[in-house]
Structure 1
Amino acid sequence: DCKRCPFSQVADIINSRLLTVNTKYDVVWRLYDRSDNIIAINDNRSLICEITPKDLGEFGVYDLINYGSECQWIMAKKPVNTLLPLIFILGCILLLSTIYTMFGAPCKSYCMKIKSDKDEENNQQNIKRSRVRALDTFRGLCLTAMVFINDGAGHYWFLDHSTWDGLLPADLIFPWFMWIMGVCIPISIKSQLKKGIPRSTMFLNALQRSVILFLLGLMTNTAAAGPDLHSLRLFGVLQRFGFVYLVVSSLSIFMTHRHSIQCQGKISSMFKDLIALSSQWIFVLAILIIHSYLTFCMPVPGCPL
């Protein structure tokens, strides 16, 4: 998977030969009258023909016939549609969701209404902390996608991670979890500030959670390869979560006002959140500027700017 890749030899063909090829990606095949392991893309010496088949698929059978200076591509057996299992699963999920929306949700709402009428006094005394259901739902979808992708994603190329270029759904799971964490932090910090919890206690709790995430990441990285310090990946996924969580939580703990800021005027009220978090915005923008400079402007041996 590269840009303008050189052609690599697949097989030597004397008269005829059967080949099993990977149909995951679109490929370009060339037939040469010479035997080299690697041939540059602009090297047309001894080139017989070039084909770019568009109908490659799983369990398909094809014939490539050479007529001297020309080639003909013939489909001998039609490939199967590998998208059918995925479409079937999505259809089942949609069907179950529709059934629940039509029958399950109204029944649940009716039962909760009856229960609230009977236990109204007890419910007033035992008020449960409300949760952001949309956030919980999105977190559940991300976890489901993560488990599916880590288990092979059905070998669908568009559900896997991109090799080096492009953006596929699997590449979005990490930033999605980062976004969820970023949304939850100010909600949690604001709730703790309202309860009068000391900032030092909140920081120690955030530090403890960050250390646990970091250690869990190290344990995960050494589960398969073993405790080899020479090949240990220090910053894995959970380690990055732990480090970022500590930085963002510290900013929110020490730079969030305990009481809401009252803004005068219509315009200032529209930007109330930005004004209240102005110190955090400055700090985060400074980090972004430094990171962008080190990434794009810092000279590195062997890496052109």
Structure 2
Amino acid sequence: MMLRLKPTDHQRIIQANTYDANYGGSEANVAVSLALLGDQAEYFSKLPANPLGDMAIGTLRQYGVNTSKVLRGGKRLGIYFFEKGASIRNTSVVYDRADSSFATMTSTEFDWPKILAGVNYFYFSGITAALSADIRTALLQACEYCQANHITVACDMNYRGKMWTPEAAQAAMAKLMPYINICLANDEDFEASLGIKAFDGDMTRGIEQRDQFEQAMRQVQQQYPNCHTVASVLRDIHSVEDSTWTAMMLQDGQVFEGPAYKMHVFEGVAGGDAFGAGLMHGLINDFTPQATIDYAITASALKLTISGDLNLVTDADVRNAMQSGNSVDR
């Protein structure tokens, strides 16, 4: 979990002298979403024992996330600077996260029987796996424990080129994938994290490549039979503000496609985390596969209308949006 600093008034980082402060991070965003949707969500991390750590943990508690297992200590809370793009200028991120409390944890600090006590689903992201070799060791131990104790494992591949290389990501994921039951992969994640090509890199025409995405999903399940669900967001991005979003899910050999939303994007951050939370909510609550993917992409689209990392919507908000008729033809 990190402190997010965003230049005020849509300025660039090089001209900013004031910043809006928020807190978030991939798994933290998912935990908050699940809690707001009405599920029981626990979050595990290590946060510094200082006011920034207090604010981070307070943010989670504010929205109903159980933080009783969070450790305190270490040097610092990681920071990232978020520069919102406009028109043809892309959004950009600058990380300042080296030596954070979580990134410097050793594998011996992860007491998985205690952390996973009473847990039915374990959710982590490729961003976490990218942080250190010790954390990758801990994640592998967690996955082994989950398999032995019948805990469902979900992973958002969430590849970040600023954090590691495709070669490093693929080597790590090759060890973790045999334990993963629910795989989320968007855009370049398939190729960068799994070595499976699904997307040609042209963000203006992602949706028309649905056949390639389906083939990649089926290849994931062929290589890893333990993975019963594979899901992905597909996007046509015409500018920072204007894009179309839809999603696909492969389950039990059948592909389900959600509605498409033509979006005027207020802030294009954490849409993938909102999608992951919506998907998990559907799976946890035994939605039909079609209802699950419809719900997940609607939750993701709603996040694009909200500032900050957290998707501050309820189950009623998602259902109202699903019934609004604002989607384009599937």
TM-score by length of 1: 0.23
TM-score by length of 2: 0.21
* Structure exhibiting the larger radius of gyration computed from Cα positions: 1
Higher relative contact order structure (alpha carbons within 8 Å, sequence separation ≥ 6): 2
Q: Which has the higher strand share?
A: 2
